[in-house]
Amino acid sequence: MLKSMDKYLAAAALSAKNYLGYASEVIFRSGFLVVILFVFVNLWTVTYSRSGAEIIAGFDLRQMLWYLVFTESIVISRPRVHLKVEEDIRTGAVSYALARPYNYLLFQLSVSFGERMVRFISTLTVGYAVMTVMVRPYFPDLSILPFLTVTVALAMMADLIGMITIGFLAFWVEDVSPFFLVYSRLQMLLGGMIVPITLFPPFLRKLSEWLPFRFMVYAPAKLFVNCDISQALSLMAGQIFICVLLFLIGMSIYRMGVKRLDVNGG
Amino acid sequence: MCIDVNHVSKQYTLWKIKGWTRRERQVIEAVKDVSFRVEPGRALALIGPNGAGKSTLIKLLCGILSPTRGSIRVLGMDPFKDRSKLAYHISSVFGQRSQLWYHLPPIDTFLLLGRIYDIDRVELKKRMKELVELFDLSSFLYQPVRKLSLGQRMRCEIAAALIHNPKILFLDEPTIGLDVVARSMVIDILKDLNQRKNVTIILTSHDTGDIERLCEDVIVLNEGRIVLESNIREMRKNFFHTKIIEIEFAGQHADLDLPPGVSVIERSGPVVKLEVNLKVQDANEVVSRIVAQNSVRDITIQDPPLESIIQHIYLSGDPAGREAEQNAQIDG
């Protein structure tokens, strides 16, 4: 099992190394976060001062701002793996991957995960520096860091598997962008990227609890600001379940697509 | 037996769009009742015009597609059912697809492929050393792929495809876009691999020069069918019914008195090119006659290029039958 995972770990590491070649994109992407954070800091400062409340939806102002640094870093770091998969299917490159001894979904997951980790770390570093200057530094409890690392990794994996699965729809449709648009907007709204889901009205909150998006964005960011280990374990269990479920859905769609490939002559 | 293909056909479905909403289903038979065998260590060229079924056949051999009818055995395995097992024993190079990581040096791709093919670290190091020497990669092994020339990149592509020591190598247009020197180097290395390491090579190419230098056997496909399966030397013998004689005369020469079956195809100063129809005339006799009648400085006898035979085969559809018929008429 470990030996068979070795190739995927190697692919993730190489992808991270390869992505360092895109230094200018890393800088630009991180620079964009500065603008977003500047807007959020001003928006939430005004919101808290006008409402007069110290805590909104379980977050004080400082927690809210650090929560947003984290959610933005997770979402901005997302590579366009659905388009890569779409291109592979459209150009027929996916059929050549069949003749290699690896699982195509896991391989794409590894490659996009490696790239995403570099983007996430660079974006979070910039976000951390900006927030330290604009608000004040934040030091999460060190004991939470291992849990946080695993939670972030699982959140990204769940999201990437979802994106790869959307890419697989290219076996049937010419353009997967509309599907991704719906997926990303749902994630943005119901995953807690812009506002924490605890701020939602009850029915919307209920809905977001039933959807997988909160495991991808809200949950790791919440853990980052409240450092609750007991929450971390149940969160990780939920994330593992979502990853496995999405993987099974993705593989079923992929297998159906590959059958179609055979029928359509590759 | 390395590859055994028995009465294989492959159909697939295409949807034609007619008007705004109407779609019409069309069944295409990309490969039609194809049978052939390849012995280990042979080099076989699959040639044919675009849409002849070459790529479909390669995909069937690699296990990417399953045959609609017939059976295929590659190294004793069913390529479609045993695809993951077979993947460790075969490899492919597609001239227009790269497996190298663009921003990283080739060595990084080699190391990753070593992990993908579950190669032991010591074995991988040994294998890489061999390939670096064979393909002369040492001077650019640590340079990012984006900074390599096309020739250097292709050498790395082929080396990468050989990292797991495959028994069969599928090559699809491996020399496309390469200059003469790079092309020659790639073909020499492949020839060496085939002859010294006994790697079976299946090549598809539109370049007859590559085919002639590398392959012993050829299969010509047209519209999904095998129209010719032959040894390249045999093919030359069976399909060349002409020879080209190039003569450089010493000084002026009078009008040539040419026997039937010989015609002038080019004249340039003292140099004259003749085409001899071997069914009518013997080339050696023509040479003797010209040398006896004229003062000749230089003379060469050539076969027409392989390209012209292939063109002839494509155009004639079923060359084996038609040629045999023509020969029978001449003999009779």
In this prediction, residue B326 carries a pLDDT of 47
Mean pLDDT of A171-187: 93
Closest residue, chain A, to B29 (C-alpha): A265
Q: How far apart are CA B275 and CA B244, in angstroms?
A: 5
Chain A residue closest in CA terms to B88: A101
Tell me which residue in B12, B108, B116 faces A100 most closely, judged by beta carbons: B116
- Summarised one tens digit per residue, pLDDT across range B147-162 is 999 889 989 999 999 9
Share of chain B above pLDDT 70, in %: 92
Quickly state the pLDDT bin for A183 (edges 50, 70, 90): very high
In contact, A75 and A249? CB cutoff 8 Å: no
Please name the residue of chain B whose CA is at the shortest distance from the CA of residue A95: B64
Chain B's closest residue to A23, CA to CA, is: B103
DSSP B21: T
Q: What's the first-to-final CA gap in chain A, in angstroms?
A: 31
Contacts of A96 in chain B (CB under 8 A): 64, 92, 94, 97
Question: Among A1, A15, A18, A94, which would you mutate to test the B interface (most chain B Cβ atoms within 10 Å of its Cβ)?
Answer: A18
Q: How far is B148 from chain A (nearest CA, A)?
A: 16
Could you identify the residue written with the tokens 């805590």?
A: A55
Domain residue extents for chain A: 2-263
Structure confidence at residue B253 (pLDDT): 66
Q: How far apart are CA A257 and CA A166, in angstroms?
A: 12
- For B185-193, what is the mean pLDDT? 89
Q: pLDDT at position B73, please? A: 96
CB contact under 8 A, B101 and A14: yes
Distance CA B115, CA A4 (A): 9
| pLDDT at res. A245 | 97
H-run or E-run covering A152: helix A145-168
Asked if A196 and A208 count as a contact pair (C-beta separation under 8 A), the reply is no
Residues of chain B in contact with residue A263, where contact means CB-CB under 8 angstroms, are 12-13
3-class secondary structure for A233-245?
A: HHHHHHHHHHHHH
> How far, in Å, CA of B66 to CA of B283, rounded?
50
ipTM of predicted complex: 0.85
Beta-bridge mates of residue B25: B15
- Which candidate in A7, A25, A90, A115 is best for mutational testing of the B interface (most B CBs within 10 A)? A7
C-beta atoms of B64 and A10 within 8 A:
no
- What is the tens place of the pLDDT at every residue in B289-328? 888 888 888 888 887 767 777 777 777 655 544 444 444 3
Of B13, B83, B117, the CB nearest to A98: B83
**Scanning every residue of chain B, which has its alpha carbon at the shortest distance from the alpha carbon of A98?**
B64
Nearest to B97 among A14, A96, A266 (CB): A96
pLDDT of residue A102: 93
Percent of chain A with pLDDT over 70: 97
pLDDT tens across B227-245, in order?
A: 889 888 787 777 767 888 8
Q: B128 touching A, CB under 8 A?
A: no
**H or E stretch including B203?**
strand B200-204
Whole-angstrom distance, CA of residue B142 vs CA of residue B4: 41
Q: Which of B115, B147, B173 is the mutation pick for testing A, counting most A CBs within 10 A?
A: B115
CB contact under 8 A, B12 and A18: no
Residue spans of the domains in chain B: they are 3-236, 241-302
Answer yes or no: do B56 and A264 touch at CB < 8 A: no
The helix (run of H) or strand (run of E) holding residue B43 is strand B43-47
What's the CATH number for B3-236?
3.40.50.300
State the pLDDT confidence band at A147, using cuts at 50, 70 and 90. Answer: very high
Task: Quote the percentage of chain B above a pLDDT of 90.
Answer: 39
Between B307 and B268, where is the model more confident? B268
Tokens of A139: 């030091």
- Is the CB of residue A17 less than 8 Å away from at least one CB of chain B? yes
pLDDT tens track for A121-134:
988 998 999 899 98
Q: Which of A69, A70, A73, A65 is nearest to A48 (CA)?
A: A65
Verify whether the Cβ–Cβ distance A101 to B90 is below 8 Å.
no
Q: What is the pLDDT of residue B331?
A: 39
Confidence of residue B329 (pLDDT cuts 50, 70, 90): very low
| Window from A19-33, A89-103, A115-129, B106-120 with minimum mean pLDDT | A19-33
Asked if the C-beta of B101 comes within 8 angstroms of chain A's C-beta atoms, the answer is: yes
